[in-house]
């Protein structure tokens, strides 16, 4: 792998070098490098593109890296990754996709990730998307994530679109069993004439299930964003969805949070806010010596948690 590869890997998986632990690095349709451990086994699928990641029950303290990078123009792929995580685990999974497109053709990655999580496990999952390159071709990503959370397990999912993705349609479905917990944080930045659309369904399916959706976004220039997060309560449970967005220039944002109760003891809340950067925040930072542009950048960095 060359300097460009590691630049992309740094952006999407926080990798400066080949990581310790289990990993699979996919580049331009092939497995560039792979390593399994005693507790984490990564194997290629035999019926379609993608991998199976098997994590043994009782595995704790391990991190699995599965980034994808594309450096070719006029390249499209659909990849299916399945995660089988046993009982009593405590693991971190670092995913993400980076596209560097310097040509005129469209470069596109569609990734379908499905998680099957056992009982009493803790899973932290981070997915970052990033695009660059000075070509005219589009950089497109359409991630689909499906998660089945077992009894008493917790999933913390952080998805971030950093910059440079011309078009994305994100689909997420999470089903939470008894005493399970899901916290989903989505961060998104669009600029130029980029388009981003996100459908998210969080289903609280078991007694005492808990779920939160936190969406934070910034839309600049002429970009467009559409969010449709929904929490469904099918048992005695608690769910909360919150969407906060900053709108700039001529951009457009549509935020449509929803809740659906199918049980009399389902406690569900939703809220959404869209606004511009407050003038007093800009003035305060500019009095410290920052230009207006630098002050805006600082505010956006803080809002998105970058």
In sequence order, what are the residues at sequence separation of 6 or more whose Cβ sits closer than 8 angstroms to the Cβ of residue 215?
Answer: 185, 186, 188, 198, 227, 229, 241, 242, 243, 244, 245, 255
Say if residue 170's pLDDT is above 60: yes
Which segment of 17-21, 24-28, 136-140, 192-196 scores lowest on mean pLDDT?
Answer: 17-21
pLDDT for the residue 15 = 85
Say if residue 276's pLDDT is above 90: no
pLDDT for the residue 33 = 93
Q: Residue 228 and residue 124: Cα distance in Å, rounded?
A: 23
Say if residue 305's pLDDT is above 80: no
38: exposed, middle or buried (C-beta count within 10 Å: 0-12, 13-18, 19+)?
exposed
Q: What is the pLDDT of residues 75-126, one digit of tens each?
A: 999 999 999 999 999 999 999 999 999 999 999 999 999 999 999 999 999 9
The pLDDT of 263-285, averaged and rounded, is 86
pLDDT for the residue 1 = 73
Full-model pTM: 0.92
Q: What is the pLDDT of residues 206-235, one digit of tens each?
A: 999 999 999 999 999 999 999 999 999 999
Say if residue 306's pLDDT is above 70: no
**Torsion angle of C-alpha atoms 41, 32, 92, 80, degrees rounded to 10:** -70
Mean pLDDT score of the chain: 93
Q: What is the pLDDT of residues 31-48, one digit of tens each?
A: 889 999 999 999 999 999
């Amino acid at each position: 792998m060359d300097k460009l590869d590691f630049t992309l890997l740094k952006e999407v998986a926080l990798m400066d070098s080949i990581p310790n632990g289990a990993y699979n690095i996919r580049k331009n349709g092939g497995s560039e490098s792979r390593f399994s451990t005693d507790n984490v086994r990564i194997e290629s699928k035999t019926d379609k593109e993608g991998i199976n990641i098997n994590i043994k029950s009782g595995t704790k303290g391990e991190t699995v890296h599965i980034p994808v990078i594309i450096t070719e123009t006029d390249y499209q792929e659909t990849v299916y990754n399945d995660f089988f995580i046993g009982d009593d685990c405590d693991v971190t999974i670092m995913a993400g996709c980076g596209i560097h497109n310097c040509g005129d053709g469209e470069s596109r990655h569609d990734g379908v990730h499905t998680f099957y999580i056992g009982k009493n496990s803790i899973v932290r999952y981070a997915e970052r998307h990033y695009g660059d390159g000075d070509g005219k071709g589009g950089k497109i990503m359409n991630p689909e994530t499906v998660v089945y959370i077992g009894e008493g397990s917790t999933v913390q999912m952080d998805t971030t679109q950093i910059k440079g993705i011309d078009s994305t349609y994100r689909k997420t479905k999470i089903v939470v069993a008894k005493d399970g917990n899901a916290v989903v944080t989505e961060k998104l930045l669009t600029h130029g004439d980029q388009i981003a659309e996100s459908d998210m369904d969080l289903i609280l399916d078991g007694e005492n299930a808990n779920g939160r959706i936190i969406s934070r976004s910034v839309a600049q220039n002429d970009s467009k964003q559409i969010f449709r997060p929904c929490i469904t309560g099918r048992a005695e449970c608690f769910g909360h969805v919150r969407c906060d967005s900053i709108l700039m220039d001529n951009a457009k944002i549509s935020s449509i949070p929803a809740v659906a109760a199918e049980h009399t003891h389902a406690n569900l809340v939703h809220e959404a806010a869209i606004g511009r950067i407050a003038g007093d925040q800009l003035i305060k930072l500019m009095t410290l010596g920052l230009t207006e542009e630098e002050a805006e950048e600082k505010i956006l960095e803080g809002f998105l948690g970058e």
